[in-house]
Structures are given as structure tokens and as C-alpha cells.
Amino acid sequence: MYKRYHLKIQTLKSFAFYLGLLFVFIACGDTASQKTQEKDPEVLKESKAYGFDLNQFNTLRDTIKNGDTFGAILNNHGVSHTTIFNIATKFRDTFDVRRLVVGKPYLVLKSKDSLNSLQYFVYGKNKIEYAVVDLSDSVSVYTKSKPITYVDKQASGVIENSLYLTMEENNLSPAMTDRLANIYAWTVNFFKIQKGDRFKVVYTEKFIDDTISAGIHRIKASYFEHKGVPLYAFGYENEKLPSLDFYDEKAQNLRRAFLKAPVKFSRISSKYNLKRRIKYYGYKLP
């Protein structure tokens, strides 16, 4: 009885998968014909993208639109239904072609010879990850990530209204507000900050391809002056903790007031290393 039930479930799963593929192929004809009536995809002007030298190809880029399917896009660029089916079934664990998202970018790279055949199809999963369908030789599919660089930055500001508005006026990400609020959650009531309070923060920002910001990576150190009282926070990575923890200029954990039995700092990490980091950021220790 159990084996029969299990077999039935597996059969239904397989049916659902191939039904999804059927929709891919049904859409091939209609979408491909509509594609020629739409505005042509933009010809790429940059010389490199996704690790490819674009000068070696005839290149087009576009975004997934309502009604687009993987089968329709590739078929419109001369790929046979057999090849499309092979990609959709053989490589579904690497790239599920049924889950293209409207608005996501894709890149088409075609040979520069008289055949103008499709060599690569690149689909941007998110800002960093992308899938590559390689048709240049034997068909293969793989995923990669764009190179990420980390740039040290610093920012400062004086509160005139709210921390959020001050961040906005200084062209800083709203995420910075959340990060500072989390760091000082045990020492500052951010609903009661006053006009004239000020902050300075040293942080690392992530960049994709050296130009596109991917947001704040981490805050290294910060200073917040609340009601004239200076509050320091220095990030320190402790092997025993899953994330960065923060300490003041006296090497005291900022969460110490909420610990029932505060752990001695010597048990957490090296005083020398933390004090060296504090000194690096310009605070003179006694």
C-alpha cells in the first residue's frame, strides 16, 4: 500500500514538471512571433559583461517580459525545440527554466560569422548570481557570481530632525539607520534622540564589478553623541560568536547590561587585538 502511494506521488511530481515544460513549448510559437513586433533589444555598448568579452560576439540584452518563456526566447534566436527540451530537463537542478522572473535581465551572445548562431544565453538571477547556458560546443549550463569588491568608507552627520532623515540628506542607505540602531540598541533610545546629536561611522560597502553598489557589508566602527555624551562602538569578530560584536572604548561589550552574568572580556577575545583596532580608528586609550 505504501509503495503504491509513494509511486503515485512520484508520478504526480513528474507529471507536474513535464506539464510545466509543455507550457514552455506551447509559448514558443506565439511569443516568438510577438517578439519581432516589440522594440528590438538594446545593443550592448560596454566591452565586458558577465566575464565575457563582448567584442567577440553579436550581443543583445533584454529583460523578461510578461508572457516570455525560456523556450520562446531561445527558439526566437534559432535554437531547436529538441535542444531547449534537453536543457530544461537535463540541467533543471542548476537552472530551472520555468522560473524566469519578469523584469530580470538576460544577455544573448551570438557568433559573428554568417551563421549568427546563439553561443551563450545569460540570465541574471539577482544582482550577483547569474546562470549561463553554453551552446558554443556541447550544451552545458552553469551558475556564477559577479566579482565583488569591498571599499572602506566613512560618513558623518548632525541630527536635525530624525536619524532616518539625516541619513537620507547625506545620501546614505536606510540600511545604515537599522545597523546603527542595532549597534546602540542597548544604550540609546532612538525614539528620543535630540536635535544636535551627531554620528560618525566607518563601514565597508560592497560593489559589483567595481561600480554597482550592493549595499553595506559591515560597520567597522562608529561614534554617536547623544545628549552630549560620546558613545563609541568598535566591531570585533569573535570566533565564538556567529556575527560581529561591538565594544566601547573601554573594551566593554555594548550588550553587557542585558547579560545576567557578564562574561569577562579576557574570555571573549584578546584585549590587545581589540585595543589595537580601537587605536587604529583614532581613539587614544588611557
Topology alike, domains 2-145 and 148-280: yes
Residues 198-240 have pLDDT tens digits of: 889 999 999 987 788 888 888 999 988 888 888 888 988 766 6
Q: What is the pLDDT of residue 85?
A: 96
- Rounded to whole angstroms, how far apart are CA atoms 281 and 202? 9
Q: What is the pLDDT of residue 91?
A: 96
Q: What is the pLDDT of residue 117?
A: 96
Please tell me the least confidently modeled range out of 74-83, 168-177, 269-278: 269-278
Percent of the chain clearing pLDDT 70 (strictly above): 71
- Rounded to whole angstroms, how far apart are CA atoms 99 and 243? 33
Give me the residue spans of the domains in the chain: 2-145, 148-280
What would the grid cell of residue 250 be? 573601554
The pLDDT of residue 11 is above 60:
no
Residue 25 binned pLDDT confidence (cut-offs 50, 70, 90): very low
Residue 242 binned pLDDT confidence (cut-offs 50, 70, 90): low
The pLDDT of residue 248 is above 90:
no
The pLDDT of residue 69 is above 80:
yes
The pLDDT of residue 108 is above 70:
yes
Residue 44 binned pLDDT confidence (cut-offs 50, 70, 90): very low
The answer as to CATH 3.10.450.350 being correct for domain 2-145 is: yes
Q: What is the pLDDT of residue 189?
A: 76
Pick the CATH number of 148-280 from 3.40.50.1100, 3.10.450.350, 3.30.450.370, 3.40.50.620: 3.10.450.350
The pLDDT of residue 4 is above 90:
no
Query: Exposed, middle or buried: residue 16 (CB in 10 Å: 0-12, 13-18, 19+)?
Result: exposed
Q: What is the pLDDT of residue 15?
A: 38
